[in-house]
Amino acid sequence: MVREEILVDARGHRCPVPTLRLRRALADAPVGARVRLLADDPLARIDVPHFLAEIGAELLDSAEADGTFSFLVAKP
């Protein structure tokens, strides 16, 4: 079964907004959901992994292309 991703596009916003939007999306998502965050604030590279470790969420994938950071997260 392929799960659809929930997309959170926080490009154009500075931290902590991307992490706050990710937090809200994860809170609203069912257990096991996959949420992809897009952010272009370089601080997201630090903030997002710290936030995920704090809540026990799994970072499935992360990438950077053309100044945009992509984080794929599984809700615990």
Q: Which residues are catalytic?
A: 15
What residue has token string 């936030």?
A: 51
Buried b (16+ CB within 10 A) or exposed e, 25-41: bbeeeeeebbbbbebbb
* 63/31 Cα distance (integer angstroms): 23
